[in-house]
A = this chain, B = another copy of it.
Amino acid sequence: MTQTAERMSLIVFSGTVDKLLAASILATGASAMGLEVEVFLTTWGMMAFRKGDYLKNTRISKDFEEYGPAMMEAMQAKKAPSWMDNLVGAKEIGDMKIYACSMTMELFGIQLSDLEPIVDDVTGVAAFVERAKEGRITLFI
């Protein structure tokens, strides 16, 4: 029988700024509520955590691309924290772990040392699912 944990698990598949922002805000909100947060970076989501990439990433979902500049401007004007700022904050206030998908790393020839230091470790999908299924919320973003 599966035990139950006060945990939210996020599979971050996308690497667009708008989706990364949504993921980071969910991580922050869940951390503030006392939930453990586990983030699993895969495919394009992992690409967005390559060292230095977040500083130049201005990619917005193509479905809403025309709103991108207005969104970026609004964030600057309101001094809204970036998705990376949010993740740093979620780590500070709560219990959040960020894992890179071992299969994506192998496919794209990426090492843990190629990723931002906020990424804690590498894990496989089966191990991630094993822990996610104990949790309260699991999302594919």
Contacts and interface: CB of A to CB of B under 8 A. Distances in A.
Contact of A67 (B22, B44, B103, B129): B44
A139 B18 CA distance: 17
Q: Which of the four size classes fits the interface of chain A?
A: 35 or more
B19 A107 contact: no
Interface of A: 2, 4, 6, 8, 11, 13-16, 18-19, 21-22, 25-26, 28-30, 32-33, 35, 42-44, 47, 59, 61-64, 67, 70-71, 74-75, 78, 80, 103, 106-109, 124-126, 128-130, 132-134, 136-141
Q: Across chains A and B, which 9 residue pairs bring their CB atoms closest together, nearest first?
A: A29-B125, A133-B136, A29-B126, A139-B140, A44-B64, A62-B62, A137-B138, A29-B129, A32-B126
